Amino acid sequence: MTPIIRTVAGLRALSRGWKAAGETVGVVPTMGALHEGHLSLARRARGECDRVVTTIFVNPRQFNNPEDLKKYPRSEDADAALLATVPVDAIFAPPVEEVYPDGFITNVTMQGVAQPLEGYMRPGHFDGVATVVTKLFGMSLADRGYFGQKDWQQLQVVLRLVRDLNVPVEVVGCETIRDPDGLAMSSRNMRLTAAGRGRAPVLYAAITAAANDIRAGHADRMAIREAAETMRAAGFERVEYIELRDAETLMPSDDPSRPRRMLAAAWIDGVRLIDNIPV
């Protein structure tokens, strides 16, 4: 079985040994409840790095809603079994006190790309992400870090973070893995009822249709409004946002000569789903 490391000292010792032998280290940060999306990141890292560490840490600082944190699924044994199929060299699954010991006072705070959309809907979320990612990079001594495009804004935040703080980690963005019906895989999907799971793929279908309409010359606003209506008609309780943004800065963009991204967040069955696609 894959070794499960609980301490920063343990992870550092392992990583130092690898690096002393001239090996490259890839880190795949996750919050566990692993699925094929996470495994695709680990497999990519496996193909590009000599050593791979997957971290499993449900980071309390990136939850703005205590209920969401409490309900977050945890399944370490099943996660370890899945990671053994990749395989990875180590799992880093520290307790909260190891990551945030008494006296912890330092935070990474970001403006710009971290402010709109998820940053606006979930105050403090990206500061929590930026802080823990900075720490995980420092703990693992990784050469590369692997992140999913599923969380597009998070990926842009991490790319900006390593540039701004001169963190010597190459950030690799990986394709979103979807179920055959188009629903982006997410640990949150398991909280959907059968009926909600049946309707959830409408999120991806609706933004895909809107993106196609925009490419065909339809007005951005009209296409987005139609997508929101389609989702409400399919039973989404709430469409938080559907936005066409500059793919890198996440600022509003009506400049089709720059890469743009359509991003959406919506609630179905009391579960908040997000997705995004290139336009």
Name which of 184 and 273 has its Cβ closer to ligand AMP: 184
Q: For ligand AMP, which is the closer residue by CB, 174 or 266? A: 174
CB of 151: closest distance to ligand AMP in angstroms? 4
CA 259/CA 246 separation, integer angstroms: 6
Instruction: Output 14 or 136, the one with its CB closest to ligand AMP.
Output: 136
User: Taking a C-beta distance cutoff of 8 angstroms, is the pair 140, 28 a contact?
Assistant: no
> Between 4 and 218, whose beta carbon lies closer to ligand AMP?
4
Applying CB under 6 A, which part among 69-77, 184-192, 220-228, 240-248 lies near ligand AMP?
184-192
**Residue ranges in 113-172 that form contacts with ligand AMP under rule CB under 6 A:** 147-148, 150-151
Compute the least distance from the CB of residue 87 to ligand AMP, in Å: 18
Does residue 277 interact with ligand AMP by CB under 6 A?
no
Is 218 an annotated catalytic residue?
no
Nearest to residue 137, comparing CAs of 105, 104, 161? Answer: 161
Closest distance of CB 38 from ligand AMP, Å: 5
Residue 94: cis peptide before it, omega within 30 degrees of 0: no
**Alpha carbon separation from 13 to 7, 18, 19, 45, 183 (Å, rounded):** 10, 9, 10, 20, 40
**Residue 214 interacts with ligand AMP (CB under 6 A): yes or no:** no
Cβ closest to ligand AMP, residue 15 vs residue 62: 62
- Least spacing, CB of residue 79 vs ligand AMP, in Å: 10
Q: Which of 2, 156, 176, 276 binds ligand AMP (CB under 6 A)?
A: 176
> Is there binding between residue 86 and ligand AMP (CB under 6 A)?
no
- Supply 200's token pair: 């959830």
Surface-to-core class of residue 245, CB atoms within 10 Å of its CB (0-12 exposed, 13-18 middle, 19+ buried)? buried
As a 3-state breakdown, the chain gives helix, strand, coil percent values, each rounded to 5, of 45, 20, 35
Q: Across-strand partners of 272?
A: 267
- Element housing 52 (H / E): strand 51-56
Tokens of 244: 């066409």
* Residues noted as catalytic: 38
- Residues forming contacts to ligand AMP in the complex (CB under 6 A) are 30-31, 37-38, 40-41, 147-148, 150-151, 174, 176-177, 184-187
